Structures are given as C-alpha cells and as structure tokens.
C-alpha cells in the first residue's frame, strides 16, 4: 500500500526569503510523525504544500497515492490549520455540517454528534461559535479535522490553546487514530507531547531537514547519571572509556555506547575507591536532543 504522504525535494521561496529548501520525507499508514523546529523553520509551509494549499517552487507530493492537488485524495485528509477561525454566527454542529458539505461528503448525524463528544463539546453542539473560548474553538477544529474519518490527519499545533486535560485527551485521540491505521502528521512546539506519541520525528531548521528518524534513532543509546565523590583521574578515565562524559559538581553523566557495561563500570569505580551515591539510568530527552541539534546548526 502507498504511503499516506510522500514528499520529495520540496522548495518554497517568498520573495528573497527561502521558507523551505529541499525537504523530503514520507509518513506511512498508521504512523504518527512529529514535525518540530523553531518559529519560522518552514513547518506550516511544508504542511500547506502537502495539502496543495501552497504551490511548491520545486518538488513533488503524493497524498494517499495521488498528486496532492487531486481533490479525491484531499477529501480523505483531515486538517487542523494553525490559525483557525470559524464563522461566529454558526453553531458548532453547523460548522461541522458545513465542512462535511464543503468536502462533498456525507456523515450521519449520530457520527457528527459522537465526534463533538470526542473533543469534549457534546453539550455545546447548539451554541454559537462566536461565544466559544479559544480552546473550545480549537477543539471544534479537531472535530472538523476528524469528522469524516480521514485516512491521513494533519494537525498544525492542535493543542496550543488546550488545557492540560484537553492535551491528554488529544494524546489519547492520536493513539486511537494510529490504532485504526490512520497516519498522523503532528506539528507541535510541545516536545514532550511529540515524544510521548510519535513514532518518528522530522526536525526542520531554517527551511531544511536538520534531523529525521525514529525516536530511538534520534535519542541514541542510554544515558547514565551518577552521583559520585572521590573520583580519581583513573576513575575518570574509566568513565570516559564507556561513553561521552559530562560533569557538574558531583553529578556525572555518561552517554553510554553500550548499556551492558553498567554493572562492570560500577564495580570498577568502587574498586578504584570512588564513593557511589546514586546510579540512575535514563535517556536523553527529545527536548535536549532538539536543542543540541538546533544549537549545533546555529554554529555552522
């Protein structure tokens, strides 16, 4: 089966400013891909090119096996735009109905009501959107993106206005989409959220792909945090043998090449007279990794 989306060599310039430069990637069916990067990195522009809303200067996009501009594939894609604003005079149920009609689809009433329930708006279906809070409008946007049971869902910062409970609901929602085999592209500045739900991550920086891969690929091997004192130069040498070492006061952090070395390492440190107060295995967080990648990029 074809990928949900396949993009190759995407480029976009606005006057003299290059917004997107040679970006290629794909999202498989049932895969949740996170799109990360600083403000202005080109994330929204990439999303708009995928959906045929912005014409690329170069590159190619296949959406659900067809060219991106083909309306037949667009109808099977759910999209929550970054900047959403719905007709204030319509009720939530009417906004949903309007979008279903505009997409040329039919969705039974019961399914529409269920969809509003999924985003926590069941008891506001008959209320005008003009009186909705920002978070409630964002929830409605999610309902619009999901109502027609799309095969590919693109969410451009879906939780920026949501409360913590709403964010947790969206995480559950994303995982249930994935279980149904729906592909998701999630653009978010909430890195912890991306780390919790995404299978793969694409990091953009100044229009280019700065890094891409599965979470284990990006986060690499395990990290070991140690609280030590009386560390001799021999002990320090031993620590450096097993991976890259950083040290702040009594806190030593080793990016281990091989997690199997931990018991031998601890035994050797004790034998070398080091007092071991704590040994804590961990993993580099996606946030640390992202900041590392962006800072390294900035120095180039």
Ligand X SMILES: Nc1ncnc2c1ncn2[C@@H]1O[C@H](COP(=O)(O)OP(=O)(O)OP(=O)(O)O)[C@@H](O)[C@H]1O
- Which residues of this protein are in contact with ligand X, per CB under 6 A? 14, 17, 19, 37, 39-45, 82
Instruction: Report the nearest approach of ligand X to the CB of residue 47 (Å).
Output: 8
User: In this chain, which stretch among 20-28, 77-85, 178-186, 194-202 interacts with Mg ion, using CB under 5 A?
Assistant: 77-85
- Binding flag, residue 137, Mg ion (CB under 5 A): no
Residue 225, strand partner residues: 253, 280
Residues 6+ apart with CB under 8 A from 233: none
Residues 6+ apart with CB under 8 A from 229: 250, 274, 275, 277
Classify 253 as helix, strand or coil: strand
Residue 16 touches which member of Mg ion, ligand X, none, C-beta under 5-8 Å by kind: none
- Binding flag, residue 44, Mg ion (CB under 5 A): yes
User: In this chain, which stretch among 19-27, 81-89, 129-137, 278-286 interacts with Mg ion, using CB under 5 A?
Assistant: 81-89
Comparison of 42 and 52: residue with beta carbon closer to Mg ion: 42
198 close to 35: Cβ distance less than 8 angstroms: no
Comparison of 37 and 141: residue with beta carbon closer to ligand X: 37
Comparison of 44 and 118: residue with beta carbon closer to ligand X: 44
DSSP secondary structure code for residue 41 in this structure: S
Residues 6+ apart with CB under 8 A from 41: 204, 205, 206, 207
Q: How far apart are CA 192 and CA 138, in angstroms?
A: 20
Comparison of 85 and 180: residue with beta carbon closer to Mg ion: 85
CA triple 196-201-207, angle to 5 deg: 135
Query: 243 to 272, contacts with Mg ion by CB under 5 A?
Result: none
Instruction: Report the nearest approach of ligand X to the CB of residue 48 (Å).
Output: 8
Q: How far apart are CA 64 and CA 51, in angstroms?
A: 11
Instruction: Report the nearest approach of ligand X to the CB of residue 42 (Å).
Output: 4
Residue 40 touches which member of Mg ion, ligand X, none, C-beta under 5-8 Å by kind: ligand X
Comparison of 45 and 138: residue with beta carbon closer to ligand X: 45
Instruction: Report the nearest approach of ligand X to the CB of residue 35 (Å).
Output: 8
Residue 269 touches which member of ligand X, Mg ion, none, C-beta under 5-8 Å by kind: none
**Sheet architecture: strand order including 183-187:** 77-80, 152-156, 183-187, 32-36, 200-205, 208-214
Q: How far apart are CA 200 and CA 153, in angstroms?
A: 15
Comparison of 47 and 147: residue with beta carbon closer to ligand X: 47
Positions touching Mg ion (CB under 5 A) are: 43-44, 82
């Amino acid at each position: 089966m074809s990928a949900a989306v396949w993009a190759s060599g995407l480029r976009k310039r606005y006057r003299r400013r290059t917004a997107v430069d040679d970006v290629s990637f794909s999202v498989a069916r049932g895969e949740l891909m996170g799109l990360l990067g600083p403000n202005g990195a080109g994330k929204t522009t990439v999303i708009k090119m995928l959906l045929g809303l912005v014409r690329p200067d170069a590159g190619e996009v296949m959406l659900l096996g067809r060219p991106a501009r083909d309306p037949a594939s667009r109808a099977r894609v759910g999209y929550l735009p970054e900047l959403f604003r719905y007709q204030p005079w319509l009720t939530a149920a009417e906004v949903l109905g309007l979008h279903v009609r505009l997409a040329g689809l039919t969705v039974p009433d019961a399914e529409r009501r269920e969809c509003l329930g999924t985003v926590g708006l069941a008891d506001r279906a008959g209320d005008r959107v003009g009186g909705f809070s920002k978070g409630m409008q964002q929830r409605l946007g999610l309902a619009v993106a999901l109502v027609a049971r799309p095969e590919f869902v693109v969410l451009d910062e879906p939780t920026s206005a949501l409360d913590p409970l709403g964010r947790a609901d969206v995480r559950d929602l994303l995982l249930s989409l994935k279980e149904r085999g729906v592909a998701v592209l999630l653009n978010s500045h909430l890195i912890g959220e991306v780390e919790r739900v995404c299978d793969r991550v694409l990091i953009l920086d100044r229009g280019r792909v700065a890094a891409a891969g599965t979470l284990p690929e990006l986060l690499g091997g395990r990290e070991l945090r140690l609280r030590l004192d009386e560390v001799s130069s021999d002990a320090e040498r031993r620590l450096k043998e097993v991976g890259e070492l950083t040290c702040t006061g009594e806190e030593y952090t080793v990016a281990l090449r091989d997690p199997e070395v931990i018991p031998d390492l601890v035994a050797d440190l004790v034998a070398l007279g080091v007092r071991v107060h704590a040994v804590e295995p961990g993993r580099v967080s996606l946030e640390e990794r992202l900041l590392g990648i962006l800072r390294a990029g900035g120095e180039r």
